[in-house]
Amino acid sequence: MDRLRGYLDREGPLRPSTSVILISAALTLLGVVMIGSVSTGPETTAADPYAFTVKQMMFAGLGILIAFIVSRVPLSFVMSQERTVTRLTWGLLVAVLAIGSVQLGAKRWIAVGPFHIQPSEIAKITIILITAKWAATRADNLSDYRRGFLFGFLAVGFTCLLVILEKDMGTTLFLFALGAGCMWAGGARFLHLAGTSAAFLGALGVVAWAMGNFDYVVRRLDGYASGSGTANDQVAAGLDALRTGGVFGTGLGEGSAHLGFVPKIHNDFIVAAVGEQLGLVGVLLLVAGYVFLFHAGWRIAESAKNRASYVIAFGVSLCIAMQAIFNLCVATGLVPPKGINLPFVSYGGSSLLVLGAAVGLLLAVARENDAPAAVPAAELDELGMADDRATGPTSLGGAAS
Amino acid sequence: MNDGTADSVSTLPRTGRTFIAVSVLFLFGVVAVRATWLSVAFGEAKAAAVARQEPRANPPTARLAAAETRPLRVAVPMEARPRRGTIFDRTGRPLAISAWKHRLLFNPSLFDTGPIEAAIAARGDTTPTASEKRRMERMRKILRDIEYALPRFLTAEKIRFDEKDLLARIRGSRDPKTGRPIKEVVLARDVSPTSRRRLLEAFRLRAQADKDLDWDGFMFDDVVFREYPWGAAVAQVLGMVAESPDPRDGGRVAGRSGMEWQLDRVLEGRPGQILEERDGLNTPFRDEIAFATAPIQGGDVTLTIDAEIQRTLIDEMEKQAKEFPCAKASTVVLDARTGDILGIASWPSTTPYAKDFKAERLQLGAASDSYEPGSTIKPIVVSTALERGVIREDERFECGGADGTEFFLGRKVTEYSTNPSPLTAQEILWRSSNVGATRIGLHRLGLPGLFDAFGRFKLRGRPGSGLPHETAGWYTPQVAPKGSGLASATESGAGVSFPRGYEIRLSPLHLATTYTVFATGGDRVAPNIIREIRYGDSVIQPAPRIDRDVVGDSAVAYVAEGMRQVIENPRGTAHRTGFSQKYTMMGKTGTAQYADRDTARGTAYNTWFCGVAPAHEPRIVVCTVFHKVIRTGKGYTGGVISAPVARTVVERTLEIMGVPPDRETPSVDAVRAPR
């Protein structure tokens, strides 16, 4: 009985799940505030300057709802729906090629009423679920290339292939890196992963070249190297904003970066606004937020009860961290510009909903970790709680295999 | 917690996930370091560099080109230029007014395909990349469109331009000599604010119609235009403004000559400091302009001159100069009571900013040039001699007799017209007897007396009117400065030269000032050009500066009568030409031989007339000189050439001053002429 109570009483402010909730909420709130503070630029209309802020708040609310729902759904159910989710994602990725709407010169969105869904955002969750399922179902054959490794790799690779057909090289590489990371953490052998990845990336390159996608990439890299081109002007302006902000920033709503100076500042370059208005302090707090979020996710993963949960928690943490690192690197001029937004903070509906689902999955894993372990039947019988056996944790991987 | 089965997390190899986790943390660390570097270490140096920049409304492309160095939203301390003060004449007519106009500037280097072509050549390629080709095509397309449409826009706005020159400026993206890109050319001046607005709208519509036709590189700047409504009549007194060549002035428009130069600090005012904020597009937030220190508007200056009199001076001198060939002419009109310069001009003059503008004609010779005054010096000699008691009023002097010549210190002095009978000092004046004057000067006054006379009348030094570049009067010194190479008065025989007005150099302004002694009954009134200055809250009105009793009343009256006879007496040297039907006048003619390296003595003359009017109640002093008059059959003396100008000027000036004509019977016969 004491042991059971001990499981139930396990709580505290520093629990990983609490950290995840607090940090993601803080980051989302920061995003709403920053989008509000840059809502005077030319990308907003004078009639409704806070349209972006209101939409972001709306999607943040929806994201929280999704996170709550997903966190309450048993992981066994989620994993049982992995195939459905995968097929749906693949369907959307194919559909976007046919019926996608063009925005900013790229065909990556499907218009649903007033909203635009970006299937490649959903693909991030799908990749995590694919690798989680793979780690659980192929647990016995992970070191076997054909019966173990290749099975998961092909699913990841196929998803990436569909994304590259949208001529989105950056997201393709991001998804591939996420899939590879999840597989490595999930038990794949390094040699298998490295060799096959090299071959696959070569193949992706051929596909991209055949589609004429390379010209654009080469031009952009050329531009980055020579410091010219519109995208680099955006980066240069972003860097100026960071310099202007100094240590403590110009103050919320102050600064000039949002006055048409840094295009898409509410989206991919929100860091420029943070840096200018809140200064280095703001940027470092932002970075610290992601570090702690990754650490909390890591702790949740380490406490996972099975490989599927582990890969889900690790994958979600890695996905958020990678996205944040890439965005921050672009904003600080460390890598060539690529449209990857800052998780929770950047403006974007699809991103917030997908992040909501991701955080929900992380919390679900945490909830599962925190749930009482299966109490031996004899013990339950002794306590007169034999009927509670059914409420014990479900062995996900085992059930599936 | 984990059970050790195949599905257990504990059986997973830790290498991969640990490596990934460490990598993630490392990358976050890199980002943090980079952000710190940008914000702190590099940021401060950059901010300082940005703050140092000259703020300028750059066009978008130029701004993008300067992406690394453009100013962000910084408070730029800008100089608030005050309005340049207005200059009025004594009656309140504006003589110099400031107005703001715009210049249309263009940056042709933005459309220079040279660097792209050089880049293609540098990589050993002959075909440009798609991006390079597109950029070059866009540049050429916009340039063609500008060349086609801009002349039409300017014509529609009635802005003057030379089409050939305009197109050359638009195409001239590089300096042909240095090869450096040209970043700023002036395409049109004198663009009104309305035209500026309409041109900007035309450019905007051009870009709206075709987004590839974004006419980059056009700018307008503000330039202060100084307008001189009275043109050549007052040009030499006012001078003109132009961009200052002094780098400390930062290219501001400053007075470069005349009173514009002399009173530049007053007219300019004191610049204030504006704190102006600019947004990311470098556009100032107009509603946030605040003065750090308010500017003090330029002072308004009222001069003593009268624009109408000025015009009369120029017209009359020009008329006379056409008849009697000369190099230059100058005339000064002084208010005898206050010393106010009512008119001062030199011929030829020029109109500022006109096509035929000639800078050298802006020199006001009436104040800056000095000439030997010739016989106009004689009243000074005679009055001083009377004052010192070395001659008597009724004393008669032998003046060359029928021969008309006499030698003094071995030098031959010749009369203009012979005087067989001895003459009184008064007669010496109106007959302009050289021998008589020399006799008084050399024998009665002597050199010490002559120097005393020159000292009393302040012939050395500057008149001190407030006009710039006044020349100082000069005469051969009593003792020549050591090492100067000059002869002293004793050595040069100046005692013979001085009484006839040689070895002395005076400006017309200086001589006119000297003659105020005869207009006021003995007081010398210093000249003055400034009537009033209003600067900030202060008003400055210079008071007349008068040297009392330079010569006594009786001496002045005696000399004045002699000078009156110059005009009134039918045998006076200026009777035929200087006699006015309206006003009585007294004065003295002077004809000094002029010689220089290219001009032999006796071929050219400086012809003078210095007069006072009305004769009985003097109000004005007029002094006119024609320089380097070529001797012709029509005459070459002060009486012939200068006196008519003085007469007309006197009549016009006194009319303007509202002085009623004082000649009751405008007839020559009414004046009883002494023999």
Question: Average pLDDT for consecutive 10-residue bins of chain B (675 residues)?
Answer: 52 73 89 86 54 37 38 55 89 89 86 86 83 87 85 84 86 82 84 85 78 78 83 94 77 85 88 66 57 82 96 96 94 96 96 88 94 96 95 92 88 88 94 94 92 93 92 90 82 89 95 96 95 89 92 95 94 93 95 87 91 95 95 89 96 95 64 47
- Using CB atoms and an 8 Å cut-off, which of residues 71-90 of chain B contact chain A? 72-73
Residue A135 tokens, joined: 């780690």
DSSP string for A120-153: HHHHHHHHHHHHHHHHHHTGGGTT-IIIIIHHHH
| Nearest chain A Cα distance for residue B56, angstroms | 17
Residue A109: φ, ψ to 5°: -125, 145
Write out chain B residues lying below 8 Å of A333, CB-based: 34
Average pLDDT in chain A? 77
A62-102 per-position pLDDT tens digit: 999 999 999 888 888 888 888 888 898 889 888 888 877 66
pLDDT at A223: 60
To which residue do tokens 């910084």 refer? B74
Contact B20, B12 (CB under 8 A): no
Contact B469, B352 (CB under 8 A): no
Helices A307-331 and A230-245 pack at an angle, to 10 degrees, of 90
Q: Please report which helix (H) or strand (E) contains residue A87, including its range.
A: helix A82-99
Query: What proportion of chain A, given as a percentage, has pLDDT over 90?
Result: 17
Contact A189, A233 (CB under 8 A): no
pLDDT at A95: 87
Residue whose C-alpha is closest to residue A348's, from A46, A25, A62: A62
Residue B97 tokens, joined: 């007014």
Identify which has the larger pLDDT, A54 or B100. A54
At A37, is the pLDDT very low, low, confident or very high (cuts 50, 70, 90)?
A: confident
Query: Buried b vs exposed e over B394-432: b needs ≥16 C-beta within 10 Å?
Result: eeebebbeeebebebeeeebebbebbeeebbbbbbbbbb
pLDDT at A231: 54
Q: Residue B168's CB: how many other CB atoms inside 10 A? A: 11
Write out chain B residues lying below 8 Å of A240, CB-based: 46, 67-68, 70, 72
Peptide bond into B59 cis (omega under 30): no
Write out chain B residues lying below 8 Å of A245, CB-based: 39, 43
For residue B611, list its beta bridge partners. B587, B622
Contact A190 B25 (CB under 8 A): no
DSSP string for A262-299: STTTTTTTHHHHHHHHHHHHHHHHHHHHHHHHHHHHHH
Residue whose C-alpha is closest to residue B529's, from B469, B464, B623, B472: B464
Asked whether residue A40 carries a pLDDT value surpassing 70, the answer given is: no
At A367, is the secondary structure helix, strand, or coil?
Answer: helix
Q: Which domains does chain B have, with CATH numbers?
A: 98-228 (no CATH), 307-356+370-482+490-670 (3.40.710.10)
Over its C-alpha atoms, chain A yields an Rg (Å, rounded) of 22
Helices A230-245 and B42-52 pack at an angle, to 10 degrees, of 100
Distance CA B59, CA B38 (A): 27
Sign of the dihedral through C-alpha A129, A135, A137, A143:
positive
Mean pLDDT, range A185-210, rounded to an integer: 81
Residue spans of the domains in chain A: they are 29-400
Identify which has the larger pLDDT, B621 or A306. B621
Contact A184 B21 (CB under 8 A): no
Contact A339, A268 (CB under 8 A): yes
Contact A294 B44 (CB under 8 A): no
Distance CA B486, CA B454 (A): 19
CA distances B348 to A389, B16, B183, B353, B638, Å, are: 121, 97, 40, 16, 19
- Using CB atoms and an 8 Å cut-off, which of residues 244-283 of chain A contact chain B? 244-247, 250, 254-257, 259-262, 275, 279-280, 283
Write out chain B residues lying below 8 Å of A332, CB-based: 31, 34-35, 38
Distance CA B200, CA B203 (A): 5
Q: Tell me which residue in A262, A284, A302 faces B32 most closely, judged by beta carbons.
A: A284
Contact B291, B273 (CB under 8 A): yes
| Nearest chain B Cα distance for residue A281, angstroms | 9
Contact A246 B44 (CB under 8 A): yes
Nearest chain A residue to B3 by CA distance is A305
At B80, is the secondary structure helix, strand, or coil?
Answer: strand
A277-297 per-position pLDDT tens digit: 888 899 999 999 999 999 888
Contact B6 A140 (CB under 8 A): yes
Q: What is the DSSP letter of B390?
A: S
Beta strands B253-255; B290-293: pairing state: unpaired
A352-387 per-position pLDDT tens digit: 998 999 999 999 988 887 776 555 555 545 544 444
Assessment of whether the complete model's pTM goes beyond 0.80: no
Torsion angle (degrees, nearest 10) of CA B486, B492, B496, B499? 10
Q: Tell me which residue in B15, B68, B280 faces A256 most closely, judged by beta carbons.
A: B280
Contact B46 A240 (CB under 8 A): yes
- Using CB atoms and an 8 Å cut-off, which of residues 272-291 of chain B contact chain A? 278-281
pLDDT at B153: 84
Distance CA B649, CA B645 (A): 6
pLDDT at A256: 64
Write down the H helix ranges in B157-262: 163-171, 193-209, 232-238, 258-262
Residue B508 tokens, joined: 């017309």
Write out chain A residues lying below 8 Å of B62, CB-based: none
Is any Cβ of chain A less than 8 angstroms from the Cβ of B35? yes
Q: Please report which helix (H) or strand (E) contains residue A230, including its range.
A: helix A230-245
